[in-house]
Amino acid sequence: MVQKKLHKALSSVDWNANVSEFLKDNAACETIANCNLRLSLWSKQFEVADAGNPALSFTREMQVAANHVSALISLALYKPAASAMRTILETALYYTYFRTHHTELATLVRETKFFLWKSKLLEYHMTHTPSFNDFQNQFGLIGNLDSWYKHVSCIVHGQIPGGWLEHKSLRNTKHVKKTLGIVVDSFSKGEQIVHQLFLCTVAQELWHDFESSAKKLLTKGIPRKTRFALRIDTA
């Protein structure tokens, strides 16, 4: 009996119609596609420039989470998308730290009690990553990261009642244009933060092994003065 109710509830939503409606929103689709493209580009370059590093598993997880964001948004499952967005940032942060801390990475996998908070990872970069503070000042990265992470976490934990949640029942799951715009914008801002995080933490060490075409795409829109400050080229 209970199983039949679940079947009825899930079948009552026209998931294909939700995806079709989403795909008609060219602006939203373009934003999400571009975000996923840049994350994939970073991951591909890391696979070559940092080949064999066990911490690359985090960048792969990052890509999977980005794909989940796309799928969840298209289905009008906005709140679950917030959790996937947060995973993108967290795994990006993990990669920037654990790529040079393999012993701690092994402990992370082995010991469930071992955990490093986001603040500790950022503190590490502020203290130990060469020129990180100067680099992040080019974007206001720390402030933007903290603000974005806190807001998305509030959505994930339900601290904002009704945040990104427009439907009281599963059968009514469908797109709400205003909320869709907010969700897509949050994804875009989160991806931009990850992009800048990589530019400020690992790019200087690995950049020389990146493909020229990738460098051009990853520096697109960044002023020459900022590129010079970050010590990265476009070819």
Distance from the first to the final alpha carbon of the chain: 63
Does residue 158 carry a pLDDT above 80?
A: yes
Q: Is residue 5 part of a domain?
A: no
Looking at residue 10, what is its pLDDT? 86
Looking at residue 47, what is its pLDDT? 98
Looking at residue 102, what is its pLDDT? 96
Residues 6+ apart with CB under 8 A from 208: none
Rounded-to-integer distance, Cα 81 and Cα 138, Å: 29
Q: Is residue 170 part of a domain?
A: yes
Looking at residue 169, what is its pLDDT? 83
Q: Is residue 9 part of a domain?
A: no
* Domain count across the chain: 1
Q: Is residue 190 part of a domain?
A: yes
Q: Is residue 6 part of a domain?
A: no
Residues 6+ apart with CB under 8 A from 118: 90, 93, 149
Looking at residue 21, what is its pLDDT? 97
Q: Is residue 187 part of a domain?
A: yes
Q: Is residue 2 part of a domain?
A: no
Does residue 27 carry a pLDDT above 90?
A: yes
What DSSP string describes 105-153? HHHHHH-TT----HHHHHHHHHHHSTTHHHHHHTTTHHHHHHHHHHHHH
What amino acid is encoded at 153 in this protein? S
At 67-76, the pLDDT tens digits run 999 999 999 9
Helix (H) or strand (E) holding 216: helix 212-218
What amino acid is encoded at 113 in this protein? K
Let me know: does 108 contact 114? Beta carbons within 8 Å: yes
Largest Cα–Cα distance in the chain?
Answer: 66
Looking at residue 141, what is its pLDDT? 98
Q: Is residue 196 part of a domain?
A: yes
At 173-232, the pLDDT tens digits run 999 999 999 999 999 999 999 999 999 999 999 999 999 999 999 999 999 999 999 999
What DSSP string describes 152-214? HHHHHTT-STTTT---SSGGG----HHHHHHHHHHHHHHHHHHHHHHHHHTHHHHGGGS-HHH
Does residue 170 carry a pLDDT above 90?
A: no
What amino acid is encoded at 150 in this protein? K
Rounded-to-integer distance, Cα 40 and Cα 92, Å: 12
Count CB-CB contacts under 10 A for residue 115. 8
At 92-144, the pLDDT tens digits run 999 999 999 999 999 999 998 898 999 999 999 999 999 999 999 999 999 99
Q: How many residues does the chain have?
A: 235
DSSP state of 13: S
Section 48-68 average pLDDT: 98
> Whole domain around residue 63: which residue ranges?
15-230
Q: State CA 27 to chain mean position distance.
A: 19
pLDDT mean across residues, the chain: 95
